[in-house]
Amino acid sequence: MTTLWRAAPCLGFLIIVLMLAGTLAAAAPQYLAGAPEFRGVVEGPDEIPPGTTTTLVIHLENRGTDPQKIVSSVGSAGPPPSTAIGITATLAAGDAPLVLKTGPQMVGNLASGEGVLIPFVLTVVPGAMGGEYQLPLTLSYTWLSSEEQVGRESVIYRYTKEEVLVPIPVRIKDVVRVGVAGMQTGNLTAGGEGVLTLRLENTGSLEGTGAVARIRRAGESPVIPEAGTVYIGTFSPGTVHECRFKVRIDETAEAGSYPLYVEVDYRGRSGESLTSRPETTGIPVAGKITFGVHSGSPLVYRGTRVPVDVTFENTGPAPVYSAQARISAVEPFTGYRDTVKLGDLAPGEQASARFEIGVDKAATLKEYGLTAEVRYRDETDQDRVSDPLTVTVTVGERTGLIRIFSNPLILSVIAALGIGIVYYLKVYRTNRINRPEG
C-alpha cells in the first residue's frame, strides 16, 4: 500500500505527458507565410515560321513555397497559401506579329510543385520579322492569404483574388521573304509573249545563299511563264535584284490584271534547302490586238477586173510593226493583187490598201464577204496574225448604155461599123473627085 502511494505522483506525471503528446500529434499545421509563384515555358519547339498556324503548348508551373508554419490544436482546414485556386489563363500577342485564335483557358487549381499544359492556337502573320518575342500570359486566380483562429475550434479564412503577368518567350523563325519592289511589263497582249522585269527585294530577316528566283502560274491565270527562273546568288535582307522573265499570255485573256506567284529557292544557315513563301503579284495585260475594216460595200460588175480600196485601223491597245494586209479571193473572184503593205500602225492609226480582183461573168448578183487578215510583228518581234476580217463587196450588172458599151462583142461590131463607114466615105469622096465633069 505504501509502495502504491509513493508511485502515484509518477503515474500522474506520465498521464499528463501522454495527454500532451496525443494533443500535439492530433494538431495540424497553420501557415504564416507563402504565395503562388509561376513560371511558364513553351513545351516543344518554340520557333514558329511566319505565315503558319500552330498550337503553342505552354507548360505552367507553380513554384510557390510556404516557408513558415506552426502547429496548433485547432489546425488549418484550408489549402496552403502557395496553392492557386481557380486559375484562368489568357494569352495575348503583345508586340509579337501574330494573331491568337484561342480565348481564356480554365486551368483549375495548381498546388506548389505542380504543373499543367495549356494549349493556345495562334497564327504568325506572313510578313513577320524573325526574332524573339515575349507573349504576356495573364493568370487570374484566388489564394489563401491569411487565416485567423477564433476561440478553440473556429478559424476564419481570408482569400485574395490575384492577377499576375507571366512572360512567355517565343521565337519567330528568320526566313527569306520575297517582295516585288517594282516591275516593267511593256505591252503584254492576249496571244503574245513578252519580257517581264521584276525588282525583287528580300523583306525577311535571313540571308539566303544560292538563291534562285522563280515565277509560277497562279491557277488558271492567263499569264504563263515561258522562262521562269533567274539566278540571284546571295540574297541579303533589304537587297533588291532585277530579274527578267519571259511570259506568254493566253489568247483568250481580256484586258485586266492577273495573278502570278513569285518565290525564291535558297539555302539557310545550316545549308538546308528552303523555299520562300509565295508572293502574289498582279501582272497587267492590255488585252488583244485587233483591227477594224473601213470599206463600205463597193460595187463591182461581173466579168470585170477592178480595184478595191480598203482602210485598215489598229483598234488594239499596242502598236504593230511591218503590217501587211492580205485578202482571200475565192469563187467567183480572182485575186490579182491580194497583198498590200500597211507599215507600222500605232493604236488608233489607219492605213489604206488597194487590192485588185476579178469577178467571174457568171457570178451571182449579190453581196459577198471576202476574208482578209493582217500579218504583223509585235514589240518582241514576234510574227503574229490578226483574227479574220471581212471586206464586203457587191456584185452588180451593168444597165442601159453602160451595159452596151461595156460588152466587147458590141464594141467590136460598133468598131467594125465605124471603120466601114469611114472607109465608105473615103471611097465615095475619092470617086467624086476623080469623076470627069460633063
C-alpha cell at 143: 489564394
Which residues, at least 6 apart from 66, have a Cβ–Cβ distance to it below 8 Å?
31, 33, 34, 80, 81, 82, 112
For 218-332, list the strands marked E by DSSP. Answer: 223-227, 229-235, 240-249, 256-267, 273-275, 279-285, 291-294, 299-301, 305-314, 320-328
- Cell numbers 510578313 label which residue? 127
State which H helix or E strand residue 99 sits in: strand 98-100
* Residue 295, pLDDT score: 84
Sorted by where each begins, the domain ranges of the chain are 25-172, 178-285, 291-397, 401-438
Q: Which CATH class is domain 291-397?
A: mainly beta
Instruction: Name the residue with cell 478595191.
Output: 308
Cell of 258: 492577273
* pLDDT tens digits along 248-271: 999 999 999 999 999 999 999 999
Place of cell 495540424: 28
pLDDT more than 90, % of the chain: 70
CATH of segment(s) 25-172: 2.60.40.10
Q: Which residue has the cell 506579329?
A: 97
Name the superfamily (CATH) of residues 178-285.
Immunoglobulins (2.60.40.10)
Are residues 86 and 142 in contact, defined by beta-carbon separation less than 8 angstroms? Answer: yes
pLDDT given for residue 432 in this prediction:
63
Fold matches, 25-172 and 291-397: yes
Average pLDDT along the chain, 438 residues, taken 10 residues at a time:
47 45 44 81 89 94 76 59 94 95 95 95 93 96 83 78 96 95 93 95 96 97 95 97 96 95 96 95 94 90 92 95 95 93 96 94 92 94 94 85 53 72 72 60
